Structure 1
């Protein structure tokens, strides 16, 4: 059972937060910096989401692991800090990105640690209690920097299962400028076996869709698929796997110009080595917004599974559930941002997205909000509305296109009188549907049959949200409300 004595509802307190830009429907601590979601898992009947966290300020410094959990993706509890940098330990400079897996009935974290004197990251192992609330940090190192002169940077371990065996990969950068993945077998969580460079941006498909100097936060999951390739031809029956990377470039400094990309392909066994081989077929951007980075995916289901697999649920097919990080931004594409002074004054930075399910349709990635978030729908504010529709600061709108020939544009703006800033603008063609969430300063737009768009925007005093619809389009609007 989760230790509710040392926990607190993670959403209820948001309703009384003094900052009007603070999201109410995306769980996070009331104060401090957060970034990458980590250790996402479904263990013993609860979803657990950890995240990189600095509780002491709204700046990226001395990173720890924060922790929230939920039985249903709707009601969330905030727990004490799970992992902390250990003085003199391999994670003295920070407990960076990693995963949580069930290792023979023991929740186990595998994450990047960096020593206080600098140097390369190493995979550090910690063991948790059954409820994942308390952790033993012994500083055990499961994998060190490979003895390979071509590998110049390593980070962000991810565990996956294939053909009944457990593997791990890490993102890397190479001396020749290419991004790469490193492959490990993990027969023993305490001692990983390195098998070399697995995939790089020298692969032409990877170079096209996932260009980077380092592949950060690598993910590999099996997803439901309709079996149709991008050319409209049915596949050969091979399972569909998605690789996802955060595309790091030098000088990014939380700007992440290349964002997040993915590859779609198959996983097969090399007959000579018995190791898995990923064969990419296509790919693309995983989110169309500039305020989305470092997502992590948990594999749910009875099929091949990631390291964060469930120990108490079985579904007829593997499902992949994703969270991403939306940072505070300086303002992009005409949107007003927040300065560092404003962020410091607010005392908090960063928010995680709604949980999102992944699938592949017609050979392309499809991202949709988890159906559980329907529970946040409160009073209906409009049904079949057209033209310019006023939205409250916490709202959901479902926009459907009419049958008028041609395409129009949907716009979400912040307006005060004649002055306005455009937060989102996108086409809407016949038969299309958009689902738009506004949670104070976080906007998520889901296009049916496509990927999402994640944006940050900060209403000024007197500004109101307005949804502008093209001719023939209609919107149903709900005010968001916390369920009982």
Structure 2
């Protein structure tokens, strides 16, 4: 659960309830999205809303929560404000898909319960399947006294505890919350800077769970717990820090901005090793290494960033084929006032497939099945310097490749100016993306795979790292995007139209009973 906005470097009013908890709870009982006709029309005609990314029908969304493949369907949950297009009243939005590409809205999975551990908000969490039941471990928050507060932001009045809910419903529409936390307090003796975003898995006879945390002026860390019975609060025991980092020494109001707090940790086995993902310093970091199962300690061998742009608080899941799928929150880069006028904020990234090289390097690819969204191939023009393709109305997919010895430059621009510039120099094996440097291995082939959707560019560079960029423009028409590739004769540029996943920009159909 993100407590501030690292992209804009400003505090969001997350401590302010926008309506009573009773009102929020009531909103969760409504199976359809209540929107006035004029609001629907404005949202459906907004060219900046995506056509093939997942997002709620309206209002604010952030972190992906508990994605899970269950009973032949993919279920996505995320942080959601049912009442406004800015942060507040944290609830769990829910949608389902047959293929991770086409989605249907479902009723809200969880909303704050008055006079409970989550009365202030249901923050982020993760899913775990046990037989025919799916559990969601999540962080409940409530207003409290300074001595019990775990969010140390100057006001010190929000207490985080780890909670659990479950569903025996084959469609995962009906959920039951355990009324008391499974872990009510952080370990004693620590000057906690945060205590949230649990993630659970089964290993041998035990269920293990990580929680994002940190210590004041020490650094962020991941706390490790275990139990043999998920929904028994008395059986959970704290083990130790799975791993930890160092504070950067530059005190900020939000400890996530200076490395004193790690958010949204996700720990999983992958291709013979283990990977930890966490968010801090406005970045998403991955670490690969070895888990000693006897001591349950993690030793880092390699590390890097997942994405250099507007991508935060990711969560992974296993798909029907056993692949590790990465989802992330694509943030806005506009003001609260602009988001309120638009009536929506944020979107889910497209699914990305993770793998691990033998040397511990994390690899990232677009979901291969996303080719099903492709329409006709876009026409191209040969220019003096290279190849030009045009994405009509800021929508489409492009793939630019070259040989190991190829020089390469890719530019995207519209009538509003340049949107993206990428260059690759084979002599240094470095890629510059809008001035940000990415080092490649000598064996890496330069490739740039990008999706453009209304107001977002999702770029993956050489299967090594992502770069997610937001762009905005005035008016009611999306501009055409010119994509120009130049460089060696081996450089190729292919492009496709992309089919919308619904008939309008509300993105997904409504759920009906």
| Residue equivalent to 1:395 | 396
| Residue equivalent to 1:169 | 210
| Residue equivalent to 1:335 | none
| Residue equivalent to 1:321 | 325
| Residue equivalent to 2:492 | 474
Contact 1:401 1:428 in 2 (8 A): no
SS of equivalent residue, structure 1 residue 438: strand
Contact 1:384 1:476 in 2 (8 A): no
| Residue equivalent to 2:372 | 375
Structure 1 unaligned segments of length 5 or more: list them. 205-209, 225-238, 250-255, 301-312, 330-337
Aligned mate of 1:279, from 293, 296, 299? 299
> CA, structure 1 residues 157+84, in 2 after alignment: closer, same or farther (shift >3 Å)?
same
Counterpart CA distance in 2 for 1:426 and 1:151 is 45
Q: Deviations over 1:300-354 (max 9, x none)?
A: 5xxxxxxxxxxxx5x5xx531110001111xxxxxxxx33322111000000100
| Residue equivalent to 2:265 | 218
Write out aligned runs for 1:15-34 (5 A).
17-34=44-61
SS of equivalent residue, structure 2 residue 371: helix
- How large is the Cα RMSD of the aligned pairs? 2.7
TM-fit CA distance, 1:199: 1.5
SS of equivalent residue, structure 1 residue 375: helix
Contact 2:136 2:165 in 1 (8 A): yes
| Residue equivalent to 2:73 | 46
TM-fit CA distance, 1:116: 3.2
| Residue equivalent to 1:266 | 290
Residue 154, structure 1, aligned to residue 151, structure 2: no
> CA, structure 1 residues 14+427, in 2 after alignment: closer, same or farther (shift >3 Å)?
farther
TM-score scaled to structure 1, two decimals?
0.80
TM-fit CA distance, 1:203: 12
Counterpart CA distance in 2 for 1:339 and 1:184 is 39
TM-fit CA distance, 1:65: 0.3
TM-fit CA distance, 1:101: 1.5
| Residue equivalent to 1:310 | none
Residue 127, structure 1, aligned to residue 147, structure 2: no
> CA, structure 1 residues 384+370, in 2 after alignment: closer, same or farther (shift >3 Å)?
farther
SS of equivalent residue, structure 1 residue 341: helix
Counterpart CA distance in 2 for 1:93 and 1:132 is 24
Number of aligned residue pairs: give it: 416
Counterpart CA distance in 1 for 2:98 and 2:495 is 27
> CA, structure 1 residues 136+440, in 2 after alignment: closer, same or farther (shift >3 Å)?
same
Counterpart CA distance in 2 for 1:198 and 1:431 is 35
| Residue equivalent to 1:334 | none
Counterpart CA distance in 2 for 1:151 and 1:366 is 36
TM-fit CA distance, 1:7: 7.4
| Residue equivalent to 2:362 | 365
Counterpart CA distance in 1 for 2:74 and 2:42 is 23
Residue 36, structure 1, aligned to residue 63, structure 2: yes
Q: Deviations over 1:422-467 (max 9, x none)?
A: 3343437594221110011111111233121111111334743111
SS of equivalent residue, structure 2 residue 340: helix
SS of equivalent residue, structure 1 residue 17: helix
TM-fit CA distance, 1:51: 0.2
Q: Deviations over 1:129-150 (max 9, x none)?
A: 2311111234231112224222
Contact 1:410 1:425 in 2 (8 A): yes
Q: Deviations over 1:26-73 (max 9, x none)?
A: 121221000000011111111111000002111100110001111212
Write out aligned runs for 1:33-432 (5 A).
33-117=60-144, 118-128=157-167, 129-152=169-192, 153-163=194-204, 165-190=206-231, 191=233, 192-201=236-245, 212-224=259-271, 239-247=272-280, 249=281, 256=282, 259-270=283-294, 275-289=295-309, 291-300=310-319, 313=320, 315=321, 318-329=322-333, 338-361=334-357, 362-382=359-379, 386-392=386-392, 393-401=394-402, 407-416=407-416, 420-427=417-424, 429=426, 431-432=445-446
TM-score scaled to structure 2, two decimals?
0.75
Contact 1:359 1:366 in 2 (8 A): yes
> CA, structure 1 residues 21+286, in 2 after alignment: closer, same or farther (shift >3 Å)?
same
Aligned mate of 1:465, from 458, 481, 500? 481
| Residue equivalent to 1:253 | none
> CA, structure 1 residues 359+164, in 2 after alignment: closer, same or farther (shift >3 Å)?
farther
Q: Deviations over 1:211-231 (max 9, x none)?
A: 82111000111223xxxxxxx
| Residue equivalent to 2:436 | none
Q: Specify which structure has the bigger relative contact order, considering alpha-carbon pairs within 8 angstroms and separated by 6 or more residues.
A: 2
